[in-house]
């Protein structure tokens, strides 16, 4: 029961609407664009295994915590956590857990909109038949040429942001809910078709071996951190999204069950994406470590040669745009809700201002990919080479802000909030509650801390001191 608080922004019409919206937030470029390429860069199977463990052991419990915070606080992430901290007679400083999510979402959306713009451009390229009969090399060259023109990238990301602003500006009911209702199911089916095509026409055996045979010698500590961070990214955690969506959730819906369902669908989509892409990677002699262009240089090969490829390809990129779009909505929503609550802006002005500033920030990503000399450089952070502003923003958010934000959320709901209140809000079986509470109090904080201590070299020194 959520007490007397009500959201000023409106509510989901019910359980199903929330599930669709939250699944829409979770499923996006993270599953279809990012997961396959970072899996490739980090050696395959072992990375996938760590990622799956992180989803189950850390992701689902943290998601439950966030929805709980949102539903009880009924405000934008920072203010929700602040209210609950007051309720627990704890320091208002805990609100950092909400604010860092809001900032992370904002930063992520700055590059997300650019990549969603690539997908939009690819709708047109595919529909025009640009890939018909083209080989792997020509398709790779087309992608390179696309990235090289910053004006084109700017224009497409502007279109994405414009539509996002339009929908979010219309509000929870009329905008957000309508959009996700039919998009999510269609995406799932289409991805299934792609995976079947690749499995029957590509090197399925090699792909499966690559994705599911863990070779731990290929996994570095940075790879572990990226798997952890990606588990947060793909479930939209520590980014305010699940808190703000929880704020619009009716009181009688089971948080535990819905969280598990969302995580399951999200993971299934990522696996399907891997199975749609990797058979082609191996069939056409491409490299798994191709980087952010991976899906744009693999799938068009299939579209170029399969029957009805133009049709399926166009549909695929349309769906990818939609998937990105339902995530973009979730990323912008916290900032908009906060501007409306505290800055007195109308929903529309708040959204437009946020969208405009994001487009500007997105220029860092645009110029990173077009190869402008001011946007590309060489840095090494914790042993990982970082070569552009895009990579800075990506690493800062996914590898650092999300895991640390998740850690704070876990500690807040596990140690700071009163047990009685979390119990009341989760309304689940004693067993389920016990598992959640253990995971949040012990597992998440310890796991995230170990990864970071290892990363900064402290753990190794400690072990050496102990003579281990």
Binding site for ligand PHE (CB under 6 A): 25-26, 28-31, 105, 108, 233-234, 236, 239, 241, 327, 330-331
Of 301 and 321, CB closest to ligand PHE: 321
Question: Taking the complex as a whole, how short is the minimal distance between the CB of residue 75 and ligand PHE, in angstroms?
Answer: 18
Which distant-in-sequence residues (6+ apart) come within 8 Å of 345 by Cβ? 339, 353
In a 3-state reduction of DSSP, which class is residue 135? coil
Q: Give residues with Cβ within 8 angstroms of 67, minimum separation 6.
A: 22, 242, 243, 245, 246, 249, 255, 258, 259
Residues in the chain, overall count = 468
Specify the DSSP element, H or E, that contains 129.
none
- By Cβ distance, which residue is nearest to ligand PHE? 30
**Which residue, 31 or 100, is less far from ligand PHE as judged by CB?**
31
Q: How far is the CB of 330 from ligand PHE (least distance, A)?
A: 4
Least separation in angstroms between residue 296's CB and ligand PHE is: 16
Q: Please, which residue, 31 or 370, has the CB nearer to ligand PHE?
A: 31
The C-alpha atoms of residue 249 and residue 252 are separated, in whole angstroms, by 9
CB-CB neighbours of 55 under 10 Å: 22
Complex with ligand PHE: residue 24 or 61, whichever CB lies closer: 24
Q: Tell me how far, at minimum, the Cβ of 437 lies from ligand PHE, in Å.
A: 25
Q: Shortest approach of ligand PHE to residue 76 CB, angstroms?
A: 14
63 vs 22, 225, 417, CA distance in Å? 10, 19, 16
In angstroms, what is the minimal distance from the CB of 28 to ligand PHE? 3
CB of 329 to ligand PHE, least distance (A): 9
Nearer to ligand PHE, 139 or 237 (CB): 237
What separation in angstroms does the CA of 84 have from each of 75, 245, 402?
11, 17, 21
Q: Nearer Cβ to ligand PHE, position 185 or 371?
A: 185
On whether the CB atoms of residues 340 and 7 are closer than 8 A, the answer is: no
User: CB-wise, 134 or 262, nearer to ligand PHE?
Assistant: 262
Q: How far is the C-alpha of 386 from the C-alpha of 439, rounded, in Å?
A: 33
| Residue 280 three-state SS | helix
Torsion region of 133: left, alpha or beta (phi above 0 gives left; psi -120 to 50 gives alpha): left
């Amino acid at each position: 029961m959520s007490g007397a608080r009500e959201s000023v922004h409106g509510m989901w019409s019910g359980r199903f609407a929330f599930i669709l919206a939250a699944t829409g937030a979770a499923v996006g470029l993270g599953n279809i664009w990012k997961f396959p390429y970072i899996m490739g860069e980090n050696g395959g199977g072992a990375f996938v295994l760590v990622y799956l463990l992180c989803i189950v052991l850390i992701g689902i419990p943290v998601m439950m915590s966030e929805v709980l915070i949102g539903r009880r606080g009924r405000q934008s992430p920072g203010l929700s956590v602040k209210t609950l901290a007051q309720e627990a007679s704890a320091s208002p400083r805990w609100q950092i857990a909400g604010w860092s999510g809001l900032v992370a979402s904002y930063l992520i959306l700055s590059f997300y909109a650019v990549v969603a713009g690539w997908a939009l451009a690819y709708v047109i390229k595919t529909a025009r038949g640009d890939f018909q009969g083209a080989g792997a090399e020509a398709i790779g060259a087309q992608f390179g040429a696309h990235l090289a023109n910053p004006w084109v990238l700017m224009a497409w990301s502007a279109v994405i942001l414009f539509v996002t602003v339009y929908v979010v500006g219309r509000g929870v009911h009329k905008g957000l809910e309508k959009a996700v209702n039919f998009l999510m199911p269609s995406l799932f089916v289409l991805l299934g078709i792609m995976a079947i095509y690749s499995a029957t026409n590509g090197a399925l055996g090699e792909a499966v071996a690559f994705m599911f045979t863990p070779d731990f010698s290929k996994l570095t500590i940075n790879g572990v951190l990226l798997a952890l961070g990606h588990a947060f990214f793909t479930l939209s955690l520590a980014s305010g999204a699940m808190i703000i969506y929880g704020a619009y959730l009716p009181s009688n819906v089971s948080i535990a069950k819905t969280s598990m369902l969302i995580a399951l669908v999200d993971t299934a989509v990522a696996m399907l994406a891997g199975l749609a892409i990797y058979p082609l990677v191996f069939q056409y002699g491409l490299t798994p470590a191709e980087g952010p262009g991976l899906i744009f240089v693999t799938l068009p090969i299939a579209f170029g040669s399969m029957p009805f490829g133009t049709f399926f390809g166009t549909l695929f990129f349309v769906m990818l745009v939609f998937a990105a779009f339902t995530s973009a909505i979730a990323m912008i929503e916290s900032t908009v809700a906060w501007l409306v609550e505290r800055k007195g802006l109308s929903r529309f002005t708040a959204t437009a201002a946020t969208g405009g500033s994001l487009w500007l920030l997105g220029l860092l990503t645009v110029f990173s990919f077009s190869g402008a000399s001011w946007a590309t450089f060489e840095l090494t952070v914790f042993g990982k080479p970082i070569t552009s502003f895009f990579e800075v923003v990506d690493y800062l958010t996914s590898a650092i802000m999300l895991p640390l934000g998740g850690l704070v959320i876990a500690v807040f709901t596990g140690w700071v909030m009163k047990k009685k209140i979390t119990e009341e809000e989760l309304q689940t079986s004693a067993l389920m509650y016990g598992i959640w509470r253990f995971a949040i109090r012990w597992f998440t904080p310890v796991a995230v801390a170990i990864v970071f201590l290892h990363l900064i070299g402290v753990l190794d020194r400690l072990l050496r001191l102990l003579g281990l």
